[in-house]
Structure 1
Amino acid sequence: MVTSRKGSMAEERRKSSMTPDSRKASVFEKPVDLDDVLVNEVGQFGRFQLQNILLVALPIIMSAFMSEYIFSAAAIPHRCQVPECGENSKDAEFEPEWLINAIQNTSSGWESCDRYRPLGLNGSLDICPASLFDQSSTVQCNGFVYERTNSVVYDFDLGCQEWLRALAGTLNSVGTLLVLIIIGGISDRFGRRIALCVSVFNLALIGLIRAFSVNYPMYLALQILQTTLGAGTFSSAYVFATELVGPKFRVVTSATCSSMFAVGQVILGSVAWVVQPWRYMIMTLHIPCFLIISYYWILSESVRWLLSKRRYDEARLVLEKVARVNKKQISEKSLNALLNPPQPVVVEETGEGPGLLKTIIRSRVLLRRVCTTPIWWITTTFVYYGLNINATGLSGNMYLNFIYTCLIEIPGFYTAVLVLDRIGRKPTLASGFIFSASCNIAFVFIPDDLATLRLVLFLLGKFGISVVFTSLYLFTSELYPTEYRHTLLAFSSMVGRIGSITAPLTPALAEYWHGIPSLMFGTMGFLAGILVLTQPETLGTKMPDTLAEAEALGKKTS
C-alpha cells in the first residue's frame, strides 16, 4: 500500500511539472493511425472507396486471363494417321467409315495412341478394308489426325504427349510463385501504382507475343515469363482495393475482389467460346489490357504506402481528396497527428530471444500448426485449380462447363463472409473441405449418361472449396502470434503453391483411369477437413500478440 501511494504521488509531481506543450503531446501517446481517421472522419466505405474498387476491378478481371492456357493448350481428341489408307495429313477426316478396320474403338472413344498393325498392303481414302491390318496386335502412331484445330496440341503436333501438354499449366503456377519475390519489392519500393501498371503491361505485352509462338518451347517459355512478370496484377489491385477501406468492410472487399477474378474467368471462357482459334483468342484477351497503363495518371497512390514512406505532403492531398469525394471533413488536428507521428522509441536488441526455428521446435502447439496449415493450403489450391482445369473435360460444352465452374465461386465467396462470424472458423473450413470432398468422391461413381447430375456434383465441389478459399487467410492469421504471423502465413501460402503447380497435371492422370483426379481431390479434402478439427476455434478471441497467447487459444480459463 505504501509503495502504491508513493508511485501515485510521484506521478502527480511529474504531471504538475509538465509544460502545456508536453501535456498536449501526451494526448497522442497512442499514435493516430489511418484506420482511426477512416472510422471517425473520412468514412470506412464511401463514394471514393467505391470508385476505387470499380477502377481496380478491371485489372483484377484481366489477371484471370493468364489462365487461358486451359483453352489454348486444351487436350483435343486425336487418333493415329493411317498412311496405308492414303492419309498423310493431320487435317484428314477424323471419323471415316473405314476407321473401325484400322483403329480400335473403346468405350471412351477411338484409341488415341495405337492402331492395328498394318500387313504391308495399301488401300485408299475410299476403300480401306480390314484385310489390310492384323487386328490381333497394335503398333504406336507415327502421325496423328486431330478432331479440332483450336489448340497448341494441333499446331505443334502434341498428340499422345499429355504430360508435355500439361506442362503449360504447371509453368503458369511456377510463375505465380516466382512473382512473389519480384512484385513485393517493386510495390514496397516504388509504390502500389507503379507495381500495378508494370504488372499489367507485362501481362499484356508477353501475352500478345505468345500469340505468335512458332513452336511449343517458345510457348512454354513465354508462359512462365508472363506469369513471373505479370501475375502481380491481382495482388497489386487487391492492395489498392483493401488498403483504403475501414476494418468493418475489409472481409467483404476481399470477397468482392475474389469475385471479380471469377468474373474474369467467366469472360475468359466466353471469349474462348466465341473466338475459337487460340492465337486470336489470346490477342483478343490481352490487347485491351494495355488500357490499364492509363491508371498511372488516374489512380491516387495508396495512402498507407505514402505514410510508410513519410511522403506526408502527397498523403495529405489524397486524404483531403477522399474526404471531399465522400462529402466528409477531416480535421487539421487528425491530419497533424497522422502526418506528424511521434518518433518511435529505439529499443536496443539484446540478441537473447530465440529465433523462429527454435521457437517452433520448442513449442509443440506452434509446431503442430506449422505442420497443419500448409496442408490446408496445398489442398485448397490443388482442388480449386484442379476443378477449374478438369471442367473442360466434362461431357457437353467445355466452355459452358468452365463458365459454370467459375460462376459457382461467387456465392461460395460470399457464403464464407456470411457464416464466418456466425458459426465460427472451424465449422466453416471443416464443412467446406468435407462437403467438397464428398461431392468429388461421389462424382467418380456417377455414370456418364447422368451428365446433369455429374455437373451438379462437380459444381457443388467447387462451391465448397470456394468457401474454404475465402476463409483460409483469416483462420491461418488468427492462429499465429503477431511477431511470427506474417512469416508463417507467407510460409503456408508459399508451400500451398505445390497444389496449384501439380493441379494442371491431373488431366494426364485421367488417361489411366477417369476417376483418379476426383478421387485425389476428395481424399485430400477429407484429410484437410479432419486436420481443421485439431485446431482451436478463434471466433470472438483477440488475435494473439505473443506466443503464450497463441498457445492459450482454445484452452479453458480458470
Structure 2
Amino acid sequence: MTKDTAIALDSILEQLGPFGRYNIVNYALLLFPIFLAGMFGSVYVFEAPDIGYRCKINECETLNDTKWTYYAIPPEKEVLSKCRRYRFAENTSEITCSAKDFNTAVVDKCSSFVYDDEDSAVRDFDLGCQNWKRTLIGTVHNAGLFVSLPLTGILSDKYGRRVALAVASLMNGIFGFIRSFSTSYVMMLVFEFLEAGLGAGAYSTAFVIAMELVGPKGRVFGNTLINAVYVMGLMTLAGLSWKLQSWRTLLRIIYTPALLVISYLWILNESVRWLISKGRHHDAANILKKAAKMNNVDLSEDVLSPLYELEKKAIAEPDEKEKEIAPSEEKVQQKETSTFRDVIKSSIIRKRVFVCSFLWITCTFVYYGLSINSVSLAGNKYVNFMLVAFVEIPANFMCLLVLDRFGRKKPLIITYILSACLCISLSFVPKDHKLWSLILYLSGKFSITVAYSSVYIYVSEVFPTSVRQSLLAVCSSLGRIGSTLAPLTPLLALYYDNLPAIFFGCLALIASLMVFTLPETINVPLPDTVEEAERLSRTKDHKQYA
C-alpha cells in the first residue's frame, strides 16, 4: 500500500464516519467471537479449581462420627492438612479411631484422598496434593498461544482476516467441545493445548479487523467496546460456572456457539486495508461503496478513482515486464515475501518488537495472575472473579478518556507504576484486613487493565499494514510467556501469601521504564510501509499532538 493510497483510505473512512450502520453491523459480528474469547481465555480457572479434600483413612472411613479426623490428621495453617496424616500406633490391638490409635510423632504423606462434593477435574482425575498438575492445565492452555498467534497471524496476512477468524473459531469449537469428554488427565491436557494452539488467535484477528475498520479517531472507542464485551464474557463464564457446577457441561455450553463463526466466510466483509495491501483495489472499492450505501453517505467515483487507477496499473505492470523479461514463479513468490524480510532488517522495528513483547509479557503476567489468584481471596470465589473482571469495564472507559487526550506513552508509564505500587502494597496489609486487601487487589487489576488495553492499541499502531497482524502475533505470542507462567503463581503463595503480588509489582516497574524508548502515536494514521513505521520514531512527540 502506498502512502497516497493510505491517505486516501483514511480520508474515505473519515467521510464514511467512525460508526455508521456499516461499522455497527460489522462490529456486532466481530463482538460475538470476542465475547466467546472472554470465556475461552480463562475457562481453565473453573475447570480445575482447588477444592476441599483430605487423606483417606481406610480404617476409620466407615464410622459416622468424624471426630477422629482431628486425631488422624495434623493441623496446618490453622486447618487440617490436605496432604499429610499421622501414622497408626504400632501397639494398637484394637482400632477405635481414638487419639491413642495414632502416633503423632510420625507424619506420613497421603496415598489416597476423600474429596468434598465439589465439581473439579481435581476430583475427576484424582489430582489431590498435586498442585503442579492442577496449575499445569492453565499453563498448557496458555502455552498453546505460542503456536496459535503466529499461525493465525500468517494465515491472516496471507489469506485474509476473515478466513483466519473463521478457521480459528472453528478450531475453538471442535477441540473445546471434545475436551468436555476427557476420560483422563492426559487427554484433557492434549485437547487443552490443541484448542488454544489452533483457535486462540480468533481474538487477535477480530481485534485487527476492528482496528482496520475505522479511522484514527475511532480506534480508542472501538478498543473500549471490544474490551467491555470481552469482560462480559469473563463475567458470564463465572456466572455459568456458579450456576452449572459442572466443568464438563460448562465446556459444552460455551464452545458450541464458536462453530457458528464459520459462517463469517460468507457474511463478514474483508478488511479494506488488507485488500489494498494485496493489490485487490477493485474489491476494496466495492466494499467501500457498499459501506457508503449502508451509511447513507455520498461517496463519489472521484474519491474512489485512485483505487481503480492502482488496479489498472497493477494489471498493466506484469505485461510491461514480460516484454523485457519473463519472471518465474519463484521470483513472484520472492516479491510477495520480501516485505516481511524488509521489516526484520529494520533495527528500529526489531527494537520495537522486543520492547512491545516485554510490555505484553508484563501485562499478561500481571493481568492473568491477578485474575487467577482472585479465586483464593476470602469470600465467594465466583463473586470475587466477577468483581476482578468487572473492574475492567471502568478501566477500559478510562482508556477512552485518557488515550486520545494524553497520548499513549504517559498513560502507559503511569499505569505500570501504579500497578507496581498497588501490588507491592498488598504485602503490607495484615491478613485480617480483608476489605483493604480486596480494594488494593481491584485497584491493581484496574491499572494493569488500562495498561493492557493501551498496549493492544499501541502495538496495532506502530507496525506496517502488510505485516501488522504477523508482528502483532509475534509480540502477543512472546507476551504469552507471562500468561503461561501466571497459572503457576498460586504455587508461590504456598511459601508466602503475597509473593505473587510482589512479582507482579517488580515486573510492572521494569515495563514502565521501557515505555520511554517508544514513539508517541496519538492521532497518527496507521503506517502502511516500513518507512512510515520507522518515521514514527523520528517524529517529535509534541508535533503528533497537533
TM-score norm. by structure 2 comes to 0.84
Specify the alignment match of 1:43 in structure 2. 17
SS in 2 for 1:510: helix
Post-superposition Cα deviations, 1:137-176, rounded to whole Å, max 9, x if no partner, equal 2100010122243110000000111111111111111111
Aligned AA (1:318): I
- Conserved? CA contact 2:416–2:509, under 8 Å: yes
Aligned AA (2:507): M
How much does 1:49 deviate? 0.3
- Conserved? CA contact 1:85–1:123, under 8 Å: no
Query: Among residues 53, 66, 72, which one is paired with 2:47 in the alignment?
Result: 72
Distance (whole Å) between structure 1 residues aligned to residue 208 and residue 148 of structure 2: 15
**Within-5 A mapping of 1:417-432:** 417-432=400-415
How much does 1:107 deviate? 2.8
**Within-5 A mapping of 1:46-445:** 46-66=20-40, 67-86=42-61, 96-107=66-77, 109-120=79-90, 121=92, 128-312=97-281, 314-341=283-310, 343=313, 360=347, 372-445=355-428
Distance (whole Å) between structure 2 residues aligned to residue 55 and residue 165 of structure 1: 35
Distance (whole Å) between structure 2 residues aligned to residue 436 and residue 170 of structure 1: 23
Structure 1 stretch displaced more, 103-112 or 489-498? 489-498
Distance (whole Å) between structure 2 residues aligned to residue 69 and residue 84 of structure 1: 36
Rate the CA distance shift 1:231–1:415 in 2: closer, same or farther, 3 A: same
Rate the CA distance shift 1:377–1:310 in 2: closer, same or farther, 3 A: closer
- Conserved? CA contact 2:219–2:457, under 8 Å: no
Structure 1 stretch displaced more, 374-383 or 154-163? 374-383
Post-superposition Cα deviations, 1:9-63, rounded to whole Å, max 9, x if no partner, equal xxxxxxxxxxxxxxxxxxx9944643222223x3332111012112221111011
How much does 1:313 deviate? 5.1
Q: Which runs of 5+ in 2 are unaligned?
A: 322-330
Specify the alignment match of 1:499 in structure 2. 482
- Conserved? CA contact 1:149–1:155, under 8 Å: no
How much does 1:553 deviate? 4.9
RMSD of aligned residue pairs (Cα, Å): 3.5
Rate the CA distance shift 1:425–1:300 in 2: closer, same or farther, 3 A: closer
Higher helix content, 1 or 2: 2
Post-superposition Cα deviations, 1:95-144, rounded to whole Å, max 9, x if no partner, equal 932211111223353211111122254878xx521111111221000101
SS in 2 for 1:159: coil
Aligned AA (2:450): V
- Conserved? CA contact 2:216–2:523, under 8 Å: no
Distance (whole Å) between structure 1 residues aligned to residue 345 and residue 292 of structure 2: 48
Aligned AA (1:82): I
Distance (whole Å) between structure 2 residues aligned to residue 450 and residue 110 of structure 1: 23
SS in 2 for 1:290: helix
Aligned AA (2:25): Q
**Within-5 A mapping of 1:412-491:** 412-475=395-458
Aligned AA (1:463): F
SS in 1 for 2:297: coil
How much does 1:488 deviate? 7.0
The structure with the larger Rg is 1
Distance (whole Å) between structure 2 residues aligned to residue 371 and residue 288 of structure 1: 36
Post-superposition Cα deviations, 1:349-376, rounded to whole Å, max 9, x if no partner, equal 9x9xx9888864xx8xx99867654432
- Conserved? CA contact 2:157–2:466, under 8 Å: no
- Conserved? CA contact 1:391–1:405, under 8 Å: yes
Aligned residues: 514
Distance (whole Å) between structure 1 residues aligned to residue 122 and residue 375 of structure 2: 15
SS in 2 for 1:84: coil
Q: Which has the higher contact order (CA 8 A, sep 6+)?
A: 2
SS in 2 for 1:116: strand
Rate the CA distance shift 1:123–1:208 in 2: closer, same or farther, 3 A: farther
Distance (whole Å) between structure 2 residues aligned to residue 555 and residue 43 of structure 1: 27
Specify the alignment match of 2:326 in structure 1. none
**Is 1:520 matched up with 2:489?**
no
**Is 1:550 matched up with 2:540?**
no
SS in 2 for 1:57: helix
Aligned AA (1:59): P
Post-superposition Cα deviations, 1:396-428, rounded to whole Å, max 9, x if no partner, equal 111111111111112112212311233343331
Distance (whole Å) between structure 2 residues aligned to residue 555 and residue 47 of structure 1: 35
**Within-5 A mapping of 1:532-543:** 532-533=515-516
Distance (whole Å) between structure 1 residues aligned to residue 282 and residue 17 of structure 2: 21
Rate the CA distance shift 1:472–1:189 in 2: closer, same or farther, 3 A: closer
Rate the CA distance shift 1:336–1:279 in 2: closer, same or farther, 3 A: same
Distance (whole Å) between structure 2 residues aligned to residue 266 and residue 328 of structure 1: 38
Specify the alignment match of 1:20 in structure 2. none
Aligned AA (1:60): I
